[in-house]
Amino acid sequence: MRLTSLKSRVFGNGGMIFAAVAPVLTLLVAFPLLFVVLQAIFPDIARGIFANPFSRFVETLFDKHLISWTLNTLMLGGSVVLVSALVAVPLGILRGLFRIPFAGLWDVVFLVPFTIPPYIAALGWIMALQPRGYLEQITGLNFGGFLFSFWGVVFVMTLNVFPVVYFAVSRMVASIGGRYLEAARVSGCPPMRSFWRITLPLTTPAIAASLLLVFAMAIEEFGTPAALAARSGFLVLVTGIEQRLSDYPIDLPGASLLSVILVLIAMAAFVLQNRIVSRRDFQTVSGKPGASRPAELGAWRIPVVMFFAVIGFLGAVMPILSVILTASTRTISGGLAADNFSTDNFTEIFANSGGAMEALGTSLSLGLGAALITGILGTMTAYVVVRQRTVSSRILDFLTLMPNTIPGVVVAVGLILAWNQPWLPITPYNTIGILVLAYCCLLLPYPVRYANAALRQVSVSLEDAARVAGAGGIKVFFRILMPLIFPSILAAMLLVFAVAARELVATILLAPIGTRTVALFIWRQFEQGSVGMGMAMSVMAIAITMTIPVAVAIWARKQGRLF
Amino acid sequence: MVNAENPSLQTGSPVIATGVSQRFGSNTVLKTIDLNVAPGEVVALLGPSGCGKTTLLRLLAGLSRPTTGSIHIGDQLVADAGGGTFVPPERRSIGMVFQDYALWPHMTVAQNVGFPLEMQNVGSAERDTRIAEALGMVGLAHVADRQPGTLSGGQQQRVALARAIVSRPRLVLFDEPLSNLDRELRESLVVDIASLLRKLGMTAVYVTHDHGEAFAIADRVAILHSGNILQIDAPEQLVGNPSSPIVVDFLKLGLVLPADVQGGDLMIGGGARRLSPPAGLVNGSRSGQLFLPRSALLPSNGGNRVAAGHAISGTVVHSMFRGDGYAVQMRFDNDISLEMFSTTRLGDGTIHDLDISWDRAFWFPHEDVQTDHTHNA
């Protein structure tokens, strides 16, 4: 009896899970973020002193950099949104409404930008468009001036994020396409008019929501503006924060205030996005994908396919091609000459030149660690949140999803501030542990959200049926729940692995001296001029983050019907 | 303009489909079909899923094009595969009610209902009157300003009905409109739809897989099977005079027993049971299917009726109390079962003889199952 009641307390109502998870989440998420806010208010908090609150506040707030960086951030985010809308909304609508030749291929091609870390894509574009880059060698055209300008940053970032809008819009348009359009046609509405009256208004929330997501992604991105525009003095909040922390004198209050501003902007975007997505009409539309019958393009076939092909080439092929070319040529100055091609760069990587193999090993272990921790933590939290609808479980939900709105650079600032507090008996700072903390905090939302969605699909009666059949709480969890939700959690863990293994900005700020990761290796090689080796490492990073998920998916499918 | 107070005024147009078929690649979903619907008539297309009923409805709506054949709505030729004519749905002056309601979530109930009028450039004052009138007809005048998502399924389908009739279309199409609703709602809504269509004198084609619904709503019911119309008749006629064993089976009208004819007797189950019909029932055919409607099976008076080949015995699977009597599931030869009605509870597993009244029996000879049948009445 005693044992059963204990078990039911553990898994029946999630009380013990809550007790286990809450302090971990507090330490992982709330602790560092709290210190970002505290630092912005108390300038001497780094020494553990709560003195002179707001004494530096006004001075920092009216820092001319702060205003210009904030404006730059908004301008960059807005421009990326604008260009993404111009490119991806038409693409998505075309894909949703019409039978596009090679439609499946375009969907795959537009997924590729998700698998290329933005900083690698930016480096690829530099190699292609810089003076004496590949484009100039082939065509004689030099777009270097454009690439290293504001619009160059917008261009490269748009190519990285536009698929978010494309997939959201095309899915929405396709699900409207079937029933809602047929109802309009039968009611006497001609095709063009039903597009304006039915399709477009119903797609607007999806367009707005995905563009807000693009905005958030754009203002949080570090690699692209750092690689392309920092040298010309164009700084945004993210690159500004990084500069405050890496250039002497290190300005902690300034970095914190900038972080708070950045978080507020990002949060505003997310809140707005969330409000749109949870609107009733959005949900009724997206709920049921009808059997849509795409229309024929007719004479527009060729221009439309050209449009898809050009964007696909720019977004997916060009940066990867450029990275591969650089990786497989001996010297940059040698250019695209036949005798300049070699596997030297890869040979050097495998020979551990510059600590390449160590960096690879570190990144893979960090990715694996982060995936395991967030997977377990995320599943436990999701279980409490889904099955135990109380105030405390909602706080957990908030804690785990909040990092979603927090840029990586801010998490890094928080970790620096929090774990350097003089009163701490032990600290992971200056060890590789701090990177694990950073990745777990940043990526926890993925497993939580995936596990959450999966758990909601599992009816409580499935658990009840197992209990009635004689299984205890723990058995129910491992025999009934886990098999049902594991595929989702595995997918989330793969995502965590892929992102953590190549994370850039938090790693730059937090990695202990002498620790190298893949991202750091690539970044430093590029800064030091050994571009070829950096690009060879990029090729391997892309290959690993692309092939491991595919391999696991194939393995999972072979395991049979469980997945 | 039609006066709603004058029920005799008909707005519906006749519909004539001639030689209509549809193929998707090598897959023929609708074989060559003829269908004539009189003005103001309600025809139900009844059949199991995949029989082609929805395909036929979509052809009438103009949501797909026929592979062969032509369709007229009123005087207008709306589709002619041979001549290449195809009028898109928005120029057919029709109304349609969908299975999943298909109310536009970004418009209010009134905007949804008024949309067809807006498409006809009806002025806003008149539009408001007619929206109110249509919503009144379906009993939902009070929800005009609500968003459709806030209504129950039954209410949403009533709004969809109002939208389909508001412009007084020549033809209203129903695509299994009630299958997403629960039974009670279905039964009340089917009455409402039927009386509304009669009141407005509208021509309607109603697709369903539920024969109760089809019988309740339609003047004539077309039974579709594998892309063919097997029979199209008034409900009474379908039940009293089914044209084929498939119709009998689909409508669950009684027992269908495959039989060989030997010396005037029917050998069922390879000779396990012998029945002796009166001369003339099988009419010279050598094999076929004996159809015994429920009304042809009566509790036996005893005697040697089974041995004489004038009765059949069945085993009671279970008796279910139905308020006014018992629905008795009985199993007969060859595992064929049939739900019978009894005023008393029959014990599970007991065997009962049922006398055959031969004057109500049908014989479907194998030679020509589809069309011809002999009715010994």
Considering only CB atoms, B106 lies closest to which of A202, A288, A290, namely A202
Round to whole Å and give the CA distance between A402 and A390: 18
Considering only CB atoms, B90 lies closest to which of A185, A281, A284, namely A185
Give CA A317 to chain center in angstroms. Answer: 20
Of A274-283, A378-387, B123-132, B223-232, the least confident? A274-283
Asked if B88 is an interface residue toward chain A (Cβ–Cβ < 8 A), one would say yes
- B273 & B353 share domain: yes
What count of other Cβ atoms lies within 10 Å of the Cβ of residue B321?
Answer: 9
Interface probe for A, chosen from B87, B106, B121, B146 (most Cβ of A below 10 Å), is B106
Residues of A in contact with B61 (CB under 8 A): 182, 186
Q: Which 3 state secondary structure label does DSSP give A16?
A: helix
Angle between helices A531-558 and A518-528 (to 10 degrees): 160
- B82 & B207 share domain: yes
Q: Report which of A387, A371, A560, A379 is spatially closest to residue A485, judged by C-alpha positions.
A: A379
For residues A183 and A194, the answer to whether their CB atoms sit within 8 Å is no
pLDDT at position A174 is 83
Round to whole Å and give the CA distance between A427 and B294: 86
Considering only CB atoms, B149 lies closest to which of A179, A185, A280, namely A280
Contact call for B90 and A187, based on CB within 8 A? yes
Closest Cα in chain A, distance from residue B90 (Å): 4
Round to whole Å and give the CA distance between B109 and B240: 43
Q: Residue B268 phi/psi, 5° resolution? A: -110, 140
pLDDT at position A175 is 80
Round to whole Å and give the CA distance between B187 and B176: 13
Q: Which residues of A216-238 are buried (b: 16+ CB within 10 A; e: fewer)?
A: bbbbbbbbbbbbbbbeeebbbbb
Q: Which amino acid is at A131?
A: P
The domain containing residue B198 runs over which residues?
Answer: 15-239
Asked if A290 is an interface residue toward chain B (Cβ–Cβ < 8 A), one would say yes
Residue with the bigger pLDDT between B278 and B373: it is: B278
pLDDT at position A9 is 43
In this predicted structure, the answer to whether residue A389 has a pLDDT above a threshold of 80 is no
Considering only CB atoms, A284 lies closest to which of B89, B149, B163, namely B149
Quick one: tokens of A269? 């975007």
Establish whether the linkage from the previous residue to A131 is cis, with ω within 30° of 0.
no
Element spanning A34, H or E: helix A31-41
Asked if A464 is an interface residue toward chain B (Cβ–Cβ < 8 A), one would say no
Asked if A296 is an interface residue toward chain B (Cβ–Cβ < 8 A), one would say no
Quick one: tokens of A257? 């205030």
Pairing assessment for the beta strands B311-321 and B15-24 based on DSSP bridges: unpaired
Round to whole Å and give the CA distance between A27 and A257: 22
Residues of B in contact with A278 (CB under 8 A): none
Q: Report which of A491, A551, A499 is spatially closest to residue A363, judged by C-alpha positions.
A: A499
Q: Does residue B5 fall inside a structural domain?
A: no
Tell me how many domains chain B contains: 2
Closest Cα in chain B, distance from residue A301 (Å): 22
Q: Does residue B228 fall inside a structural domain?
A: yes
Residue with the bigger pLDDT between A287 and B132: it is: B132
- B201 & B60 share domain: yes
Nearest residue in A to B99, CA atom? A179
Q: Does residue A172 fall inside a structural domain?
A: yes
Q: Does residue A230 fall inside a structural domain?
A: yes
Asked if B163 is an interface residue toward chain A (Cβ–Cβ < 8 A), one would say yes
Quick one: tokens of B345? 């509870």
Residues of B in contact with A284 (CB under 8 A): 105, 149
Last residue of one domain, picked from the residues B239, B268, B295: B239
- B185 & B282 share domain: no
pLDDT at position A561 is 45
- Name residues whose C-beta falls within 8 Å of residue A541's C-beta, 6 or more positions apart in sequence: A117, A120, A363, A501, A502, A518, A519, A522
Residue B367 binned pLDDT confidence (cut-offs 50, 70, 90): low
CATH number at residue A188: 1.10.3720.10
Pairing assessment for the beta strands B254-262 and B287-293 based on DSSP bridges: antiparallel
- B179 & B317 share domain: no
For residues A463 and A14, the answer to whether their CB atoms sit within 8 Å is no
How many angstroms separate the most distant Cα atoms in chain B? 79
pLDDT at position A285 is 56
Asked if A289 is an interface residue toward chain B (Cβ–Cβ < 8 A), one would say no
Asked if A285 is an interface residue toward chain B (Cβ–Cβ < 8 A), one would say yes
Considering only CB atoms, A281 lies closest to which of B63, B105, B163, namely B105
Contact call for B149 and A183, based on CB within 8 A? no
Contact call for B104 and A284, based on CB within 8 A? no
Asked if B86 is an interface residue toward chain A (Cβ–Cβ < 8 A), one would say no
Last residue of one domain, picked from the residues B190, B215, B239: B239
In this predicted structure, the answer to whether residue B117 has a pLDDT above a threshold of 90 is yes
In this predicted structure, the answer to whether residue B1 has a pLDDT above a threshold of 50 is no
pLDDT digits (tens, 9 = 90+) for A231-241: 778 899 999 99
Contact call for A179 and B89, based on CB within 8 A? no
pLDDT at position B208 is 94
CATH number at residue B114: 3.40.50.300
Asked if B89 is an interface residue toward chain A (Cβ–Cβ < 8 A), one would say yes
Quick one: tokens of A242? 């990084």
Considering only CB atoms, A186 lies closest to which of B94, B103, B105, namely B94
Nearest residue in B to A198, CA atom? B104
Element spanning A41, H or E: helix A31-41
In this predicted structure, the answer to whether residue A344 has a pLDDT above a threshold of 90 is no
Angle between helices A408-419 and A433-443 (to 10 degrees): 140
Q: Does residue A516 fall inside a structural domain?
A: no
pLDDT at position A288 is 46
Contact call for B173 and A189, based on CB within 8 A? no
Burial (0-12, 13-18, 19+ Cβ within 10 Å), A340 = middle
- B211 & B312 share domain: no
pLDDT at position A289 is 45
Q: Does residue B3 fall inside a structural domain?
A: no
Q: Does residue A169 fall inside a structural domain?
A: yes
Considering only CB atoms, A202 lies closest to which of B105, B147, B167, namely B105
In this predicted structure, the answer to whether residue A161 has a pLDDT above a threshold of 60 is yes
Quick one: tokens of A527? 């800064």
Closest Cα in chain A, distance from residue B6 (Å): 25
In this predicted structure, the answer to whether residue A3 has a pLDDT above a threshold of 50 is no
Residue A287 binned pLDDT confidence (cut-offs 50, 70, 90): very low
Give CA A141 to chain center in angstroms. Answer: 33
pLDDT at position A2 is 44
- Name residues whose C-beta falls within 8 Å of residue A434's C-beta, 6 or more positions apart in sequence: A415, A419, A428, A510, A512
Q: Which residue has the tokens 């369709």?
A: B71
In this predicted structure, the answer to whether residue A11 has a pLDDT above a threshold of 60 is no
- B147 & B259 share domain: no
Round to whole Å and give the CA distance between B179 and A354: 69
Considering only CB atoms, A188 lies closest to which of B90, B150, B173, namely B90
User: Can you tell me the mean pLDDT for A444-462?
Assistant: 88
Contact call for B100 and A290, based on CB within 8 A? yes
Q: Does residue A295 fall inside a structural domain?
A: no
Q: Does residue B266 fall inside a structural domain?
A: yes
User: Can you tell me the mean pLDDT for B36-44?
Assistant: 95
The domain containing residue A185 runs over which residues?
Answer: 87-236+310-335
Q: Which residue has the tokens 């082609």?
A: B52
Average confidence score pLDDT of chain B: 87
For residues B282 and B266, the answer to whether their CB atoms sit within 8 Å is yes
Q: Where are the alpha helices (DSSP H) in chain B?
A: 53-61, 109-119, 124-137, 153-165, 183-200, 211-217, 235-240, 245-251
Asked if B121 is an interface residue toward chain A (Cβ–Cβ < 8 A), one would say no
In this predicted structure, the answer to whether residue B372 has a pLDDT above a threshold of 50 is no
Element spanning A527, H or E: helix A518-528
Q: Does residue B248 fall inside a structural domain?
A: no
pLDDT digits (tens, 9 = 90+) for A499-527: 898 899 999 999 998 899 999 999 988 88
Interface probe for A, chosen from B97, B104, B152 (most Cβ of A below 10 Å), is B104
Q: Report which of A478, A480, A408 is spatially closest to residue A445, judged by C-alpha positions.
A: A408
Residue with the bigger pLDDT between A246 and A86: it is: A86
Is the sign of the CA dihedral A307, A310, A313, A316 positive or negative? negative
Q: Does residue A165 fall inside a structural domain?
A: yes
pLDDT at position A8 is 45
Considering only CB atoms, B63 lies closest to which of A182, A188, A201, namely A182
Q: Does residue A36 fall inside a structural domain?
A: no
Q: Does residue B354 fall inside a structural domain?
A: yes
Contact call for A281 and B147, based on CB within 8 A? yes
pLDDT at position B376 is 42
Asked if B115 is an interface residue toward chain A (Cβ–Cβ < 8 A), one would say yes
For residues B205 and B232, the answer to whether their CB atoms sit within 8 Å is no
- The DSSP letter of residue A177 is H
Residue B57 binned pLDDT confidence (cut-offs 50, 70, 90): very high
Round to whole Å and give the CA distance between B218 and A28: 67
- B235 & B272 share domain: no
- The DSSP letter of residue B308 is T
Q: Does residue A345 fall inside a structural domain?
A: no
Tell me how many domains chain A contains: 1
Give CA B100 to chain center in angstroms. Answer: 19
Residue B373 binned pLDDT confidence (cut-offs 50, 70, 90): very low
- Name residues whose C-beta falls within 8 Å of residue A34's C-beta, 6 or more positions apart in sequence: A414, A418
Residues of A in contact with B91 (CB under 8 A): 188
Considering only CB atoms, B98 lies closest to which of A179, A190, A191, namely A179
Give one DSSP letter per residue of B218-260, joined into a string: -SEEEEEETTEEEEEE-HHHHHHS-SSHHHHHHHT-EEEEEEE
Q: Residue B304 phi/psi, 5° resolution? A: -100, 30
User: Can you tell me the mean pLDDT for B276-298?
Assistant: 86
Residues of A in contact with B116 (CB under 8 A): 187-188
The CA distances from residue B197 to A252, A545, B8, B103, B217, in Å, are 76, 62, 12, 21, 9
Closest Cα in chain B, distance from residue A462 (Å): 25
Element spanning B30, H or E: strand B27-37
Considering only CB atoms, A186 lies closest to which of B89, B106, B149, namely B89
Q: Which residue has the tokens 């008034």?
A: B234
Residue with the bigger pLDDT between B377 and A437: it is: A437
Quick one: tokens of A475? 């058995």
pLDDT digits (tens, 9 = 90+) for A97-124: 888 999 889 998 998 888 888 999 999 9
Round to whole Å and give the CA distance between A107 and A320: 17
Contact call for A281 and B93, based on CB within 8 A? no
User: Can you tell me the mean pLDDT for A440-452?
Assistant: 91
Q: Which residue has the tokens 């205030």?
A: A257
Contact call for B104 and A202, based on CB within 8 A? yes
ipTM surpassing 0.85: no
Asked if B152 is an interface residue toward chain A (Cβ–Cβ < 8 A), one would say no
Asked if B104 is an interface residue toward chain A (Cβ–Cβ < 8 A), one would say yes
Contact call for B116 and A187, based on CB within 8 A? yes
pLDDT at position A385 is 85
In this predicted structure, the answer to whether residue A455 has a pLDDT above a threshold of 50 is yes
User: Can you tell me the mean pLDDT for B68-97?
Assistant: 93
Q: Residue A462 phi/psi, 5° resolution? A: -65, -40
Q: Does residue B6 fall inside a structural domain?
A: no
Pairing assessment for the beta strands B228-233 and B265-268 based on DSSP bridges: unpaired
Q: Which residue has the tokens 């997206």?
A: A286
User: Can you tell me the mean pLDDT for A147-165?
Assistant: 93
Considering only CB atoms, A188 lies closest to which of B100, B120, B173, namely B120
Contact call for B106 and A183, based on CB within 8 A? no
Asked if B180 is an interface residue toward chain A (Cβ–Cβ < 8 A), one would say no
Last residue of one domain, picked from the residues B190, B205, B239: B239
User: Can you tell me the mean pLDDT for A298-321?
Assistant: 92
- B222 & B325 share domain: no
Contact call for B173 and A186, based on CB within 8 A? yes
Quick one: tokens of A392? 């405390």
Average confidence score pLDDT of chain A: 85
**End-to-end C-alpha distance for chain B, whole angstroms:** 49
pLDDT digits (tens, 9 = 90+) for B147-174: 888 899 899 999 999 999 999 999 999 9
Asked if A330 is an interface residue toward chain B (Cβ–Cβ < 8 A), one would say no
In A208-352, DSSP assigns E strands to none
In A375-533, DSSP assigns E strands to none
Quick one: tokens of B76? 């207008």
